[in-house]
Amino acid sequence: MQDRPRCKTGIEVLDSELNGGIPTGSTVLVCGGSGVGKTTLSMQFITNGTKFDEKGVFFTASETVNKLKKHQGGYDFFNEKLLKAGKMSIIDLWSISDRLGLSEEVYTADEANILFEVIRDITKELDAKRLIVDSITSLCYRLQTQEMIRDFIFKLGSSLTAMRCTTFLTSEVPPQVFRYSQYNIEEFIADGIIYLGDIERKGDLIRTLQIIKMRGIPHGRTKFVLNMSKANGIELSPMLKSNI
Ligand SMILES: Nc1ncnc2c1ncn2[C@@H]1O[C@H](COP(=O)(O)OP(=O)(O)OP(=O)(O)O)[C@@H](O)[C@H]1O
Ligand SMILES: [Mg+2]
């Protein structure tokens, strides 16, 4: 059987744990509590894509575009020139929603469908091969029912797979609770789950990363210590080998 085409994250340890990368076109839930690195991992993923001539689009639904640029500007990997050159785009999801005249509270099924079509069409128009929704949790809040959440993520995932666009949906979970999502449905529709956690050691909070599932490929399930640095962004080292 031929091995599936892969989308390299460009983070060496993660690609090696994935035996080459994420299967192209997958929808991956990047979940974890507050401040564990969901946004940074996602931004580094689409920025790295530009090295492979893959365009990216980042839909932000938790920070404003300006705040996001300011925060990510603290890392060497983030380069505003990539935005100006049209190699990647950052789009405020709520501004789009407002411009379309959609509800500010809970969407109707028709409104959810309009937003889905706009995300799909923008992705197509930009010819993006990497897409982020940060966070899917705040979008789910407007979808409310399990049926609408399932329908939205399923439709989005299927159309992006057809466009060979690999997607990260960030998922916010309450602190110190081992859960993958707020609505307990997102993880079943996603093809992959990358879990970012916190563990307390000697009075310090250590960030961790673990691949929970990635449909269609064998992968490691090692828990890594996750560090963030200006020079490298996300840095991963096996927990057993590190000195904690
Ligand atoms: N240059 C840097 N070097 C190391 N750590 C940094 C740097 N810049 C920011 N950080 C850390 O990144 C953390 C936030 O990361 P990030 O925004 O990716 O997390 P998140 O999981 O998306 O958080 P949220 O739940 O708020 O969305 C902050 O706690 C901050 O200390
Ligand atoms: Mg974030």
For 86-107, how does the pLDDT look when each residue is reduced to its tens digit (9 = 90+)? 999 999 999 999 999 999 999 9
- Centroid of ligand 2 to alpha carbon of 1 (angstroms): 38
Q: Which ligand is nearest to the CA of 172?
A: 1
What whole-number distance in Å separates Cα of residue 91 and Cα of residue 69? 11
What whole-number distance in Å separates Cα of residue 186 and Cα of residue 175? 18
* Mutation pick for ligand 1 pocket among 45, 76, 228 (CB with most ligand atoms within 8 Å): 228
Q: Which residues pair with 55 in a beta bridge?
A: 128
Asked whether the beta carbons of 179 and 193 are under 8 A apart, the reply is: no
Helix ranges (H only) for the chain are 12-17, 38-49, 65-72, 80-84, 93-99, 109-126, 136-143, 146-162, 186-189
Picking from 87, 70, 169, the residue whose alpha carbon sits closest to that of residue 129 is: 87
What whole-number distance in Å separates Cα of residue 101 and Cα of residue 128? 25
The verdict on the CB of residue 36 being under 6 Å from ligand 1 is: yes
What whole-number distance in Å separates Cα of residue 226 and Cα of residue 224? 6
Buried-exposed string 74-106: b where 16+ CB fall within 10 A, e elsewhere = ebebbbeebeeeebbbbbbbbebbeeeebeeee
The verdict on the CB of residue 29 being under 6 Å from ligand 1 is: no
* Mutation pick for ligand 1 pocket among 30, 34, 39, 133 (CB with most ligand atoms within 8 Å): 39
Tens digits of residue pLDDT in 178-230: 788 888 888 888 999 999 999 998 899 999 999 999 999 999 999 999 999 99
Asked whether the beta carbons of 137 and 182 are under 8 A apart, the reply is: yes
Joined together, the tokens standing for residue 224 give 């890594």
Tens digits of residue pLDDT in 36-52: 999 999 999 999 999 99
pLDDT at 1 exceeding the cut of 70: no
pLDDT at res. 38: 98
Q: Atom 25, ligand 1: which residue's CA is nearest?
A: 34
- CB under 8 Å to 116, separation ≥6 — which residues? 152, 155, 156, 159
Helix (H, G, I), strand (E, B) or coil at 163: coil
- Centroid of ligand 1 to alpha carbon of 233 (angstroms): 10
The verdict on the CB of residue 122 being under 6 Å from ligand 1 is: no
User: pLDDT grade, residue 2 (50/70/90)?
Assistant: low
Give φ, ψ of 227 to 5 degrees: -120, 150
The verdict on the CB of residue 230 being under 6 Å from ligand 1 is: yes
What whole-number distance in Å separates Cα of residue 171 and Cα of residue 61? 12
pLDDT at res. 170: 97
The verdict on the CB of residue 38 being under 6 Å from ligand 1 is: yes
- Centroid of ligand 1 to alpha carbon of 36 (angstroms): 7
Q: Which ligand is nearest to the CA of 58?
A: 2
Asked whether the beta carbons of 41 and 72 are under 8 A apart, the reply is: no
Helix (H, G, I), strand (E, B) or coil at 222: coil
- Share of residues in the chain with pLDDT > 70 (%): 97
Ion ligand 2 residue ranges (Cβ < 5 Å):
38-39
Average pLDDT taken over every residue of the chain = 94
Torsional class of 189: left (φ above 0), alpha (ψ -120 to 50), beta (otherwise):
alpha
Asked whether the beta carbons of 44 and 79 are under 8 A apart, the reply is: no
pLDDT at res. 244: 58
- Centroid of ligand 1 to alpha carbon of 135 (angstroms): 15
pTM: 0.96
pLDDT at res. 166: 98
